[in-house]
A and B are shown apart, each in its own frame.
Chain A
Amino acid sequence: MTVALRPGYEAIQLKGWLKAHQWLLLRRLTQVSVLALFLSGPLFGFWIIKGNIASSLTLEVLPLSDPYLLTQSLFAGHWPETSLVIGALIITAFYFLVGGRVYCGWICPVNMITDFSAWLRTRFNIKGGAQFGRESRYWLLAMTFITATISGAMVWEMVNPVTVIYRGLIFGMGLAWLVMLALFLFDLFIAPRGWCSHLCPMGAFYSLLARYTPVRISAVKREACNDCMDCYAICPEPQVIPPALKGTDKSSHVITGINCSNCGRCIDVCSKDVFKFTTRFYKPTDSSNTFKQSEVLS
């Protein structure tokens, strides 16, 4: 059996393992650190953040709340108190700036589970599986609001894996282990990148905050692309890449797809250093344009 080299192989050879995993490592560090901030209180009595990702209080002053839960609550017919609204506004503003689905890539614990499934899929060359359209998540998002309206309760929160798992880690797992296992197996054997990239309504909600996000990745050296396809293979939302990478000369180099989670894995795995964190207003300078043209002409 011949197996294609794993995405990033060339980058590791060229840049070294550490450089070819820097954004991944930074992301894991962030995910674990945020969880540690929540856990230091219950585990060691050293309270930094109290609560869980649904709503929390940092250092007894700063309220932070999940805008998705707030929205569900509104649909269920409850107008929450000011502290929840303020907390949700702060979080909304934050993800508006850094990119909505940064939540998925940098905070959400489910990301580690589904990334592991995806890694195993590549590692053991597991191909195929059920395909759900990527728009499914928006239908599910609508469903969570409609069911909240009909029942007058946050029905989705009975099963929402993100909040169930995060709360489980901090307040006691119960059967939440099963939810983790279910997501892992679902992504591994049933649908590739099934949950986070196709179905999760929470991710869908956060993607809506990314419409005008200033922090974006750009294919700044797209002319250097050698079509190795590693970025497509590693990206959980590869549909966001082509407009920036394969655009015509005049088109933008910026990845503006709202489902890009700014995870930076494309930067890691590219052996040609095509990608870079930029702002959404990135434009190649004239000098590089002329350089490019001269290169083409010569």
Chain B
Amino acid sequence: MKKLTRRRLEESIALGFMYISLGLVTGALGWILLTLIIKGAPALTWSMVSQVPQGGFYLGKEGGILNAIIGSLYLALGGTMLALLFSLPISLGLNVYIHRKAKWALIVRSILDVLWGIPSIVYGAFGFTIMLALGMRASLLAGIITLALVELPIMIRSMDEVLRLMPRDIEHASYGLGATRIETAFRVILPQMLPGLVTAAMLAFGRGIGDAASVLFTAGYTDRIPTSLMDPTASLPLAVFFQLSMPYPEVQKRAYGAALILTIIVLLISILSRWIASRVSRYSVK
């Protein structure tokens, strides 16, 4: 009887700690979002999202952060497109052209995991070094390339995980009709796995748009909206970072607003990708 109560006690203590942990984690999430909304929402005016910085902006005068919003979208879209260009063939290569159990596939996957783990500041420093070596200045293009490097391993590994789930029998049905691998890849595997692949790309996009360390030296920062790939560009994470370090409360308030906008974009993408993943596309075979 005594033993039993001790076991009960142990069970409730353990469970108690788990509830505390869970409370801490969800509490932190709530706290972060709440802080963001309370501080950021008042800064969200129409001029904030519709104007670029005007004269004296960094002293607290007129203007908005349209330059950073557009800049971030350009950077993340460009980076994602560029990464996609490589991710799709590489993940198809790993799943269609190279046998899954092959040693080479294992090596490539391990390297991709290693690349995924490299801190983005290292990519940033690397990108900057290459940029200088090529005689380029900080620009949208340099930012896009660096961001693509950050996103690449994330995207390939996620797509790899998606393609791994391709039903073999459907793939074989296509081979059975005399289709080649490339025909099967584009006509059968891609349509079948489309929702998962889109989710993978969006995941990488979300990662890219929030990444500050990689674009810190490579994309530059400017008040204007870039008109060419060679122009430097602002970005939302850096808008948060720079404006927060200004000594004027008016400018700091805009940092909160920028952070809120960035978070809304990231969360929207995260929710949207979840929704897409849960939806099987019309013709997918279950």
Q: Do the two chains belong together in a single complex?
A: no
Give chain B's interface residues, CB within 8 Å of chain A.
none
